[in-house]
Amino acid sequence: MEYLLTTNSLTKQYGRHKAVNAVNIHIRQGDIYGLIGRNGAGKTTILKMISGLAAPTEGDFSLFGKTGKDAYEYMSRIGTLIEAPGIYPNMSAAENLKLKCLAVGVRKKGTIEELLKTVGLENVEKKKVKKFSLGMKQRLGIALALVGDPDLVILDEPINGLDPQGIAEVRETLQKLNKEKNITFIISSHILEELSKMATNYGIIHNGILLQEMTREELLAKCSERIELKTDDTRKACTVLEDMGIEKYKVVDADTIQIFERLNDGGDITMRLAENGVKTMGITVKNEALEDYYLNLTGGIVNV
């Protein structure tokens, strides 16, 4: 499979501490990849390494199919918004963009106007950035990351501290760019619920280790309402379920079946299983919210 970006045992060690520990992520063109993890999990360090702002201590990454030194040649196709995005508060959004265009050698006429329009800041051309709301500043940060028409845009916590309105604005901007310009995004966040409304793929990082990668569909399936059934004979239990007309089920391990329909029919299911000689060891309805799923995976309370 063709990936736009992969990391290969990417590691960053500070002293004895591995901030990022042998991480392998896989990002395809057109993905909105959500890198999710608590504060200090290692997200920024990963993003810095793949955008050339920090050197790995071990491992490497491939960008557009190129690895090592060759990958660094493609850095100009990446736009970033990582930590303090270099915004000058006494200047307007247009002036900030002009500076960035000059710095990276973009001279095309109309670029600034187009970028302002893309992020919905076309009507605040004269206003100084210090008078912007946080959401407006984040959108300017995104516009700055878009200078030079990058194929891949890396945004570190672009929704951090935003109110619901600000989050919705950033989400709409990213989805539009993703759809209309086929820009691939990597967005980090410590709040899965917020990422879940925009990301197509996820990487869950904890203590520097990538715990899981999954698609949006896989994540939603894990969090959707279901009956969790434990029996002493999974194979026979499946036959009984099918006889009952139940089709939406999945065998998850040697004794567990997840059923995604007829959630109120637990009693009937147990009875039919018993009639067919299958012993029910446990039957519960589960409805794990996204955040619960993430907390279970990483263990404990999110420290914000």
Q: 95, exposed or middle or buried, with CB in 10 Å at 0-12, 13-18, 19+?
A: middle
SS3 content of the chain, % helix, strand, coil (to 5): 35, 25, 35
Question: Which of 11, 21, 45, 178 is in the footprint of ligand ATP by CB under 6 A?
Answer: 45
- Contact between 19 and ligand ATP by CB under 6 A: the answer reads yes
Judged by CB under 6 A, the chain residues 189 through 248 that form the site for ligand ATP are: 190
Q: How many residues bind ligand ATP (CB under 6 A)?
A: 11
Part of the chain binding ligand ATP (CB under 6 A), chosen from 34-42, 92-100, 138-146, 251-259: 34-42
- Contact between 40 and ligand ATP by CB under 6 A: the answer reads yes
CA-closest candidate to residue 41, choices 278, 214, 209:
209
The 8-class DSSP code of residue 128 comes to B
286: Cα separation from own chain's centroid: 24
Cα–Cα distance between 156 and 137 in angstroms, integer?
14
Binding mask 80-119 for ligand ATP (x = CB under 6 A): ----------------------------------------
CB-wise, 94 or 191, nearer to ligand ATP? 191
- Contact between 14 and ligand ATP by CB under 6 A: the answer reads yes
100: Cα separation from own chain's centroid: 27
CB-wise, 5 or 227, nearer to ligand ATP? 5
Binding site for ligand ATP (CB under 6 A): 14, 19, 37, 39-45, 190
